Structure 1
Amino acid sequence: MTNPSGLRFTLAITGASGSAFGVAVLRRMSANPAVAHIALLLSPTGKRCLLDETGLTPRDLAALPKVGLRDERDLGADISSGSYRLDGMALVPCSAGALGRIASGVSESLVSRAADVCLKERRPLVLCLRETPLNRVHLENMLRVHDAGAVVMPIMPGFYSGPKTLDDLFDTFATRVLDQLGLREDDPRRWREP
């Protein structure tokens, strides 16, 4: 069941390379008329990667419509409760450390607690892992969260759409993430019959 006042999502950017993918997802969510609010979380290393890779700060992202920046240390925030109405969460990118904490049920930050709430409440949780190569621990953690109900969606952009720019790659991947959250949008870059 969806929120009658509009959909509410959480987006976390954690400390793995690929923060531009998270920015693309956030911008698309923010522009979607069905979305009423996005709780934005950044881990400490996520903030560093965001600045290093995009030149953006958390304040820049919080200036987007419908975005509310949350303190990832605030374990008493609304999104840490299962009774709070939320329609899903994505971690883009999801670091191997965040994956491990979620797979183990360790809620030491609002990022891992909000993800844990999505799993226990059976809400969509999309984990866009950005790590390579993968060791056995990463693979086992991916299987654990998958079996718990999460969608494991490593950042592997497609090239069938003939991307001309990096933004094309980011946006095509963002379309796929939004699909997993039930926000299906028209996108001319989708696979087409010849």
Structure 2
Amino acid sequence: MRVIVAVTGASGALYAQRLLQVLTQSEQVKEIAFIMSEQGRMLFAHELGVNLSLRRPDLSLLGINTTKVVPFHPKDLTAPPASGSARYDAMVIIPCSAHTLAKVAHGLADDLIGRAAQVMLKERRKLILVPRETPLSVITLRNMLAAAEAGAIIVDANPGFYHLPTTVQELVDFVVQRVCDHLGVTVELVPRWELPPKWFVRQA
């Protein structure tokens, strides 16, 4: 599997970091095209204290194995992700800002992230958007609907609590596991829902 991972300026750098760690460790994933917007670069600096270059980001600073990762500058519209003939299997925008969501929903391709997203939609390949925004305005909700109607999968960064998390990492892993589920990448980061749950007591 060849996957595009894009990072934009919504809060949630931990989600992007963890997804990249998991995908680079998976035998199912052979290559990861990495695209980071300028706002995504600022996000990593602010939330994780890591300064990355847009052109040659050293992802090893985030504990990521870089052997499978091919970085691309967000303004390089000649890069392989800009063409359907490059045949990437899927794309994840994590976190996906409201600004990027709007561009995807309305077909704007003024940078490599927007263009790659449009390629995924036109080629009928998986495009997963991971927004991290609250509360949601009517405009954002409409943009989510438009993107979903066009074929995108919305996996909002909204962790569950039925696995009884005790750390931030477990909350991050919940969201990342759901993203991987929709990518078709097998991971077991947190316990899954089971029926009946161990704590459940049926009323007579």
TM-score range normalised by the length of the shorter chain? over 0.9
Question: Which residue does the alignment assign to 1:23?
Answer: 17
Q: Give the drift of 1:186.
A: 3.1
Whether the aligned pair in 1 keeps the contact of 2:15 and 2:176 (CA below 8 Å) is yes
Identity %: 39
- Aligned residue for 2:177, secondary structure, equals helix
Question: Which residue does the alignment assign to 1:4?
Answer: none
Question: Which residue does the alignment assign to 1:61?
Answer: 59
Question: Which residue does the alignment assign to 1:98?
Answer: 100
Counterpart of 1:39, as a letter, is A
Report the Cα distance in structure 2 between the residues aligned to 1:60 and 1:158, rounded to whole angstroms: 32
Report the Cα distance in structure 2 between the residues aligned to 1:81 and 1:160, rounded to whole angstroms: 41
Report the Cα distance in structure 1 between the residues aligned to 2:179 and 2:41, rounded to whole angstroms: 21
> How big is each residue's C-alpha offset from its partner over 1:150-188, in whole Å with a ceiling of 9 and x where there is no partner?
001111011111222111111121110011111132344
Structure number with larger C-alpha Rg:
2
Given the alignment, which residue of 158, 165, 168 partners 1:166?
168
Given the alignment, which residue of 155, 158, 162 partners 2:157?
155
Whether the aligned pair in 1 keeps the contact of 2:21 and 2:65 (CA below 8 Å) is yes
Specify whether residues 36 and 57 from structure 1 end up closer, same or farther in structure 2 by C-alpha distance, changes over 3 A only. Answer: farther
Question: Which residue does the alignment assign to 1:80?
Answer: 82
Report the Cα distance in structure 2 between the residues aligned to 1:172 and 1:101, rounded to whole angstroms: 27
- Aligned residue for 2:30, secondary structure, equals strand
Question: Which residue does the alignment assign to 2:194?
Answer: 192
> How big is each residue's C-alpha offset from its partner over 1:71-99, in whole Å with a ceiling of 9 and x where there is no partner?
01001100100111211000110000000
Whether the aligned pair in 1 keeps the contact of 2:155 and 2:178 (CA below 8 Å) is no
> How big is each residue's C-alpha offset from its partner over 1:90-148, in whole Å with a ceiling of 9 and x where there is no partner?
01100000000111111011001001100000100110111111111111110001000
Q: Number of paired residues?
A: 188
Report the Cα distance in structure 2 between the residues aligned to 1:98 and 1:21, rounded to whole angstroms: 17
Question: Which residue does the alignment assign to 1:125?
Answer: 127
Specify whether residues 189 and 57 from structure 1 end up closer, same or farther in structure 2 by C-alpha distance, changes over 3 A only. Answer: farther
Q: Which ranges in structure 1 are unaligned for 5 or more consecutive residues? A: 1-6
> How big is each residue's C-alpha offset from its partner over 1:32-53, in whole Å with a ceiling of 9 and x where there is no partner?
0111110111111111011111
Q: Give the drift of 1:54.
A: 1.2
Report the Cα distance in structure 1 between the residues aligned to 2:71 and 2:101, rounded to whole angstroms: 21
Counterpart of 1:21, as a letter, is Y
Counterpart of 1:50, as a letter, is F
Question: Which residue does the alignment assign to 2:45?
Answer: 51
Q: Which ranges in structure 2 are unaligned for 5 or more consecutive residues? A: 199-204
Report the Cα distance in structure 1 between the residues aligned to 2:114 and 2:73, rounded to whole angstroms: 13
Q: Give the drift of 1:11.
A: 0.5
> With structure 1 as the length reference, what TM-score do the two structures score?
0.92
